[in-house]
Structure 1
Amino acid sequence: MERISELIEYIYNGKLKHISRFGTVGIANTLIDFFVFTVFYKIIGVNYVFSQAIGYSCGVINSFVFNRKWTFEVKNANNNIFWEFVKFLVSNLISLVITMLVIDYLVKNLQLNVYISKIIVTLIAQVINFLLYKLWVFS
């Protein structure tokens, strides 16, 4: 049992810290995103592309708070939170545009199920976001 706790400690505070914490925050963001997407798409009846934008935006709010404070542990008071947030939004707008184009292509051209397409674009967004956050936003 102690070896398991050592492994967890290594993953969350060792060399894999940023990736593992980003993944954990990403799971929460994804759950929020999928929930809101489903509410707008299935219950309210909003088009899947616009539902993607709404769900994604809700995940973004959660993402900024937890990635800034926990994943990348921004503690420097000299960092201008306004400009960090602007860079964060630009990063997420890049991801959002890409995911909206890809989800539309997957559904219309490849005739994939909307939810399978949603999973694919969510994975694409995770890779794009991690790289932009690590190298630009919270660096």
Structure 2
Amino acid sequence: MLSRFSIVGVLNTLIDFVTFTIINSWFGINYTTSQISGYSFGVVNSFIFNRNWTFEDKDANKKIVHEFLKFIIINLISLIITIIFMRILIKRFNLNVYIAKIIVTFAAQITNFVGYKLLVFK
């Protein structure tokens, strides 16, 4: 399960990072808005693959809407954590936006795995 989560995580991260880069670099939109946008694209991919492949949640009796709402809550928490830490890394430690993005991505992965495993796809 952890290896599947890692594969999906890499795909989500690529989607997130490419979207972030396009919005931030090409369009010059600030890193907070770029983070929200990139992360959101990764979340959609994450739900589909984690539900159907990583955690193989095939319970027909479970309402997908309820499951999706829990998934969104976990990801909102994760997104808030990444934005706060990005701001700290960029403003206080003068890190490059992309280095900060890479660092906060690891924090998000840990938060997401625990939340998905314990609350969403149990």
Which of 66, 69, 73 in structure 1 is aligned with 2:56?
73
In the alignment, is residue 111 of structure 1 matched against residue 104 of structure 2?
A: no
Decide which structure has the larger Cα Rg and report it: 1
- Counterpart CA distance in 1 for 2:64 and 2:4 is 20
Which residue does 1:137 correspond to in 2?
120
- Counterpart CA distance in 2 for 1:83 and 1:120 is 31
Which residue does 2:25 correspond to in 1?
42
Query: Given the two structures, how large is their TM-score scaled by the length of structure 2?
Result: 0.99
Q: CA deviation at 1:49?
A: 1.0
- Counterpart CA distance in 2 for 1:84 and 1:49 is 27
The alignment partner of 1:85 has SS state of: helix
In the alignment, is residue 63 of structure 1 matched against residue 46 of structure 2?
A: yes
- Counterpart CA distance in 2 for 1:134 and 1:34 is 24
Q: CA deviation at 1:78?
A: 0.8
Q: Which has the higher contact order (CA 8 A, sep 6+)?
A: 2
Residue type of the partner of 1:76?
D
Which residue does 1:86 correspond to in 2?
69
Which residue does 2:80 correspond to in 1?
97
Q: CA RMSD in A?
A: 0.4
Which residue does 1:52 correspond to in 2?
35
In the alignment, is residue 28 of structure 1 matched against residue 19 of structure 2?
A: no
- Counterpart CA distance in 2 for 1:77 and 1:89 is 20
Report Cα offsets for 1:79-116 as digits up to 9, x if no partner. Answer: 11000000000000000000001001100001011111
